[in-house]
Amino acid sequence: MRRGSPSHQPTLTTTTTMNARPPKNSHTPKSTRCSLAHFVFILLTTATATLADNSVKLQVAVKGEHNDPKGSVQEVHQRWLEVSATAFHLEKPEQVRIEWTLFGDDLVAKKVVKQASGTNAVGLVQSGVATIQTKPTTFTYTPRHSVKTGSGRRARFKTVEATGTRYHGWAVRAFIGDQLAGEAYSIGSIKKLVDGSK
């Protein structure tokens, strides 16, 4: 060997293919191959655990109708939810608790409030589907408007601020025992409200 020339060392070649094996006569040390196999096993185990945390898929449709008083600016809305729960990654039949909440805008306090909530229990098996319909919830509010006072040249319009509670959105969560198994929200900000109420 000439002075200054590099010594021949075993070379480790990495690849993005998870099931790639070192070629025959590879100089990869046995300990390194074992470490790679252990790393792949950890990745697969982690992915399976992540899927198991979301074992119930929720699909939610909001339904409603108007019952506004005749000759009034007041608005009366009813809202209810139709929820479909599909089981994934269940090793055995489970009793699933579905918790739902409807939120409204308090137009006086100018904040989002809980208008109604409830719980329904359904039985699910692997790949099974269960549906529920929540009870109707009423939202009654009067939007900001103007009221005429006086007549003729003395007529004036007075602004009346909004009052009541207007529909805002919903949250639905599924539990198996005390474990959260699935969740769905009409908008992301509601998830923050639910998480903050724990």
pLDDT higher than threshold 50 for residue 23 = no
pLDDT at 68 (0 to 100): 87
Q: Which two tokens stand for residue 49?
A: 């655990």
Q: What is the mean pLDDT of residues 29-44?
A: 40
Q: Which of 187, 166, 169 is nearest to 77 (CA)?
A: 166
pLDDT at 53 (0 to 100): 55
Q: Which of 52, 56, 181, 64 is nearest to 130 (CA)?
A: 56
Q: Which fold, 56-196?
A: Immunoglobulin-like (2.60.40)
The H or E element spanning position 122 is strand 111-124
CA distance readout (Å), 55 to 46, 87, 90, 95:
15, 6, 7, 12
pLDDT at 142 (0 to 100): 96
Helix (H, G, I), strand (E, B) or coil at 77: strand
pLDDT in tens, 59-94: 999 999 998 888 899 999 999 999 999 998 888 999
Query: Distance between CA atoms of 198 and 187, rounded to whole angstroms?
Result: 18
pLDDT band at 198 (very low <50, low <70, confident <90, very high): low
Q: Which of 198, 158, 27, 172 is nearest to 97 (CA)?
A: 172
pLDDT higher than threshold 60 for residue 106 = yes
> pLDDT: is 139 or 7 the higher one?
139
Domain regions of the chain by residue span: 56-196
pLDDT band at 54 (very low <50, low <70, confident <90, very high): low
